[in-house]
Structure 1
Amino acid sequence: MKSKILYNGYDENFIRNHSIPTPSLNEEQLSDLAVNSDGTAMIRYINFSLQLSCAHKFPYYTATNIDGLKFKKVPRKDNWRKDDRLPKDLQFGSELYSAANSNFDRGHMTKREDVQWGDTVGIALNAADSTFFYTNSVPQHKDLNRDIWRSLEDYILHAEANKSQLRICVFTGPVLSKSNPYFTTAINNKQIQIPAIFWKIVVYEKEDGKIYRVGFMMSQNKLLAKGNMIEELESEDDIFMRFKDAETYQVNVSLIEEMTGIQMPPAIDSYTDDRDIKLVMDEIDIDPDLESSSIEFELGFAIRNILL
């Protein structure tokens, strides 16, 4: 008889001697949460959890524990499916990713390798497999998912958490906004909005024993528009429109909070800058024509200086 897999979920006491709670949603977001079969709105997997929007059918955020010391190498097995613990109509699946003009990658919010750890290879394998629920997926342009965004994720895991044997917590999500552009293909006779901006926050302990956090944000709007995958972006939200064309990294956590409406766990900010947002964007804009290796070097340099 096959044993039932235990979905332990995100552990807020994962970093020893510290409590790192999950992000706090506002009242409107709380009223929009999908509830799973156990009657809770916190959807637990192995080494990570998430909260899912009913209106958008994408996660507001995922919360992930990464243990560099217990990382295991396991084979990748793409096993995308909807979560039986949730109503099927609250989850986008193949109907979105196989639709006409849907050249999206199934973008993991919690990265497969990030949760690929445990006391045994079997636990790590099940953890990796649990990231292939559509609840953990948001459409991403292949060039963002495979190049720029992936370079950021790989550096966090392999250069920081794994090599340094750190325990870190990572929060990731799309900006679920009414300003998001519409997909050019209707899904089940309904127009849907595709998140244009993604964010990531890394929380970690420094040698001084204190908890720090650093935020990153990237936009795929230019990539989606170039591929004719979305309609022209229009919005009265000034801050949102400042990210219309930029692929960016390293931003104030307060900016992520302002754009998402989500309050992040408190910690010391490793990066602060009071200059105008557009000026910061000019300095950290990523040229889409850059070679991947150059992007990895720039990302590595930025993160390495933050985490020191």
Structure 2
Amino acid sequence: MDAMLASRNAKPKDVAPDNVQRQRHDFLKDQLSGEQSRQEIEETFERIISGNELQDINYLEKGMVAGRAVCRLRFGTMSSGGYATGFLISPRVLITNNHVFPDAQTARTAEAQFRYERGVDGRELTPIRFRLEPDRLFFTSKKLDFSVVAISARDIAGTTAIGSFGFLPLIDVTGKVAEGEWLTIVQHPAGQLKQVCVRENQLLRRTNDFLWYSTDTLAGSSGSPVFSNDWFVVALHHSGVPARRNGVIQTVLGRDFDPNVDKEDDIKWVANEGVRVSRIVQTLRDALPNHDLIKPILAAQPARPTTATQPVHSTAAVNTQPQEAAMSRTVTVQLEISDAGEVRLVGGGPMEAALGIEANKPKGTRDEEGNLIHSPADRTFTGQHLKGYNSKLDDYTVHLPELSASIAADAAPLVGHPNQFELKYEHFSVVMNKIRRLAFFSAATLSAGGRFKLSGRLDDWMTDDRIDAKHQIDDAYYKRNKLDRGHLTRREDMEYGKTVQDAVRSANGTCVFTNCVPQRDIFNQGKAKGIGDDSKLWAGLEDYILGHIDPDGDLSLKVFTGPIFSLSDPKYRGQKIPMEFWKVAVGVAEDGELFATAYLLSQENLIDVNDLDDEAARELPLGAYLTYQRRVSQIESATGLRFFFSRKGNTKKIPLSEVDPMEGAAGLRPRRRRRSRTDEAFGSAGSDALESLNQIVLP
């Protein structure tokens, strides 16, 4: 104990063991290699072990973002309950201490209160309250004093998604911190407003299971995250370490502690103790390796701990405040942090104007007057508006694609419904391939009516609990690489409805991983040097066809979209990436006759699985974005799907290929395709690639 106390204010290079210093160096090298030169990394390491506490100014903003995931826990009844702290360690999992939640029943009576804190103007914010879901996940360890529990997807009021607060990943690697470095705890001491201790927070010693540090805490701080200077979580705070003499706890007055006379506040505390992150992760890995909510925790990689998939806010927008809070003045500030750990201020408000800060409007969809439309997707997937694909089209029925016998066994069933496979969303449906963890197809109704003049977007991606989590790729797959979340059914195509709120909700509902495929970012976002109009052909097909058949803009179109699965598709992070994608568009011509056209696009020239982790942009190869018009029958051959329609008053199914104007067209010289199940080749560097939308063959 005396040796530990003597290490206070010592520099890491003087107190940290040599192996710990080496691990710290290696961790920094891995973390910063993409951002700093070798010399800069060495300088950073020397600064840390020498005890130099100068920090980049964005240290404070990163801390604000990290603190978003920390909440106050209220449990029990008003007369006999208590308070503690907890924080999110994945999008749907919260962690605190075992002595806070010793069992599932205690967690069931609790609620998590986010934003119980002061805003940048010094005023208290209105907390956002979430229920916990221990029936879905609850695990506890009395030995290590931690409990993890599932949290509801939306708050009690139903207006805020839990994903808007981000989460703090638990990184199971060594080198995150060394003895003598300074730590920070974000906490709700004694159940009070969220606070942080930013001075005298030194790591003093470590054991196999715990870290000891000198941060100030109070009762109610149990379950708080202990951060390194890099804002990595290094421990779960759980108790204080009292001074002892001859094995007896001492008071601040220098005498033995007497529990019959003295209070806990009379104890002389010499340090605090937190449970090491690595031990928590290992325990979860041993106990629940296959739980769908635990697997993302176990897969966390060393990266900036405050990375979020969308901007996070230190206050809610004025219009989202309850009526009793709306009378107070609210300052809105929005911080956005990139996958590279860069934090910037992107929200606007009175405080920024007073400080002379130029800020953009918060991201999201806005109406013609510039008002932000808050209409989130239904993350429970239980809403009455989720009717799925509508097969009716004038006097025809355009059926969902059918899976041939060769692929039917690969369809992912709905949980609890082994013979149901259609996932219904607003205006579109998806059927998933459980082997490839991607959609066989997405089927949508595009309408030229019910449109509003909208601008902007904020993609908030979600998984669908109606099928097993193992049958869909989640957000972790798209982190720190050149891949993007590519929509099958386009967000813009679903941006319609009876009201503007319906239209925005429908568009937001396309951001579900069942409607997503891995695509090179430079294709999906148009980032790269050399991108041209050829890349816009694929995205503009639907609009062009609608304009061709319906210049007045009041008809609709059926569009089926999906990947082509090949046995030789390259594998990346254990998942095969499709190289080609197809579309089948079905409409009614001016003469009332149905028609169907098919298209193909390849990203084969853009994908090198050995190069995806290098996020540096590169020039596009010549002909990277070639779009081809192909026969419907060729899409059927390539995918194993079958496309049918029926006429009004007749249930007989007719192949869509019979109304394809390309059937029998000259100039198509299919060759043997080297990679897939199909007998024909599509996207070779042939002369029949589309150069403009005017070349599309339509009736």
TM-score, normalised to structure 1, is 0.80
Query: SS of the counterpart of 1:157?
Result: helix
Q: Is the 8 A contact 2:538 2:601 kept in 1?
A: no
User: Is the Cα–Cα contact under 8 Å of residues 538 and 627 in structure 2 kept in the other structure?
Assistant: no
1:121-160 paired onto structure 2 within 5 Å? 121-146=500-525, 148=534, 150-157=536-543, 160=546
Q: Is 1:172 the counterpart of 2:551 in the alignment? A: no
1:190-217 deviations in Å (ceiling 9; x for gaps): x221000000011000012111011100
1:174 aligns to what SS in structure 2?
A: strand
Tell me by how many angstroms 1:71 deviates.
2.2
What are the superposed Cα offsets for residues 259-303 of structure 1, whole Å, 9 maximum, x if unpaired?
Answer: 1111123331122335422598411347xxxxxxxxxxx332123
Residue pairs, 1:254-269, within 5 angstroms: 254-265=633-644, 266-267=655-656, 268-269=659-660
- The residue identity in structure 2 corresponding to 1:43 is L
- Does residue 277 (structure 1) correspond to residue 670 (structure 2)? The answer is yes
Shift of 1:160: 2.3
* CA separation of 1:170 and 1:36: change in aligned 2, threshold 3 A: same
* Residue 42 (structure 1) aligned with residue 422 (structure 2): yes
The counterpart of 1:78, out of the listed 459, 466, 470, is: 459
Tell me which amino acid in the other structure corresponds to 1:85.
R
Q: Distance in 1 between matches of 2:551 and 2:451?
A: 10
Residue 105 (structure 1) aligned to one of 484, 504, 511: 484
Question: C-alpha separation between the residues in 2 aligned to 1:108 and 1:139?
Answer: 9
Query: What is the SS of the residue equivalent to 2:605?
Result: helix
Map of 2:611 onto structure 1: 228
Closer/same/farther in 2, CA of residues 58 and 22 from structure 1, 3 Å limit? same
Question: What is the letter of the counterpart of residue 135 of structure 1?
Answer: T
1:29 partnered with 2:420:
no
Equivalents in 1 of 2:637, 2:430: separation in Å? 20
User: Is 2:430–2:439's contact at 8 Å kept on the other side of the alignment?
Assistant: yes
| Separation (CA, whole Å) in 2 of partners of 1:226 and 1:90 | 22
Counterpart position of 1:91: 472
**Runs of 5+ unmatched residues, structure 1:** 231-244, 287-297
**Cα deviations across residues 119-150 of structure 1 (Å, max 9, x unaligned)?**
11111111101100011000011233245555
Query: What whole-Å deviation, never above 9, does each CA across 1:215-262 have from its counterpart, x for those lacking one?
Result: 1001101111398349xxxxxxxxxxxxxx883311111111111111
Identify which of 203, 208, 216 aligns with 2:586: 203
Identify which range, 150-159 or 27-36, moves more after superposition: 150-159
In structure 1, distance between residues paired with 2:452 and 2:546:
16
State the alpha-carbon separation in 2 of the partners of residues 207 and 9 from structure 1.
27
What amino acid does structure 2 have at the position aligned with 1:177?
S
AA at the equivalent of 2:500: V
Aligned to 2:695: 302
Contact residue 570 and residue 609 of structure 2 kept, 8 A:
no
2: CA distance between counterparts of 1:164 and 1:229? Answer: 44
Separation (CA, whole Å) in 1 of partners of 2:474 and 2:490: 18
Going from structure 1 to structure 2, the CA distance change for 1:210 and 1:163 (only over 3 Å counts) comes to closer
CA distance in 2, matches of 1:145, 1:246: 11
Q: How many residues align?
A: 273
8 Å CA contact 2:495, 2:504 repeated in 1: yes
Change (3 A) 1:299 1:47: farther
Aligned-pair RMSD on alpha carbons? 2.7
Higher strand share: 2
Q: Which residue of 1 aligns with 2:446?
A: 66
The CA distance in 2 between the partners of 1:82 and 1:88, in whole Å, is 8
- Quote the Cα distance in structure 1 between the aligned partners of 2:579 and 2:611: 14
Cα pair distance change 1:8/1:103, threshold 3 Å: same
1:119 to 487, 498, 510: 498
Distance 1:118 1:149, change over 3 A: farther
Q: Which has the higher contact order (CA 8 A, sep 6+)?
A: 1
Q: Is the 8 A contact 1:152 1:299 kept in 2?
A: no
SS of residue in 1 equivalent to 2:406: helix
Distance 2:496 2:421 in 1: 25
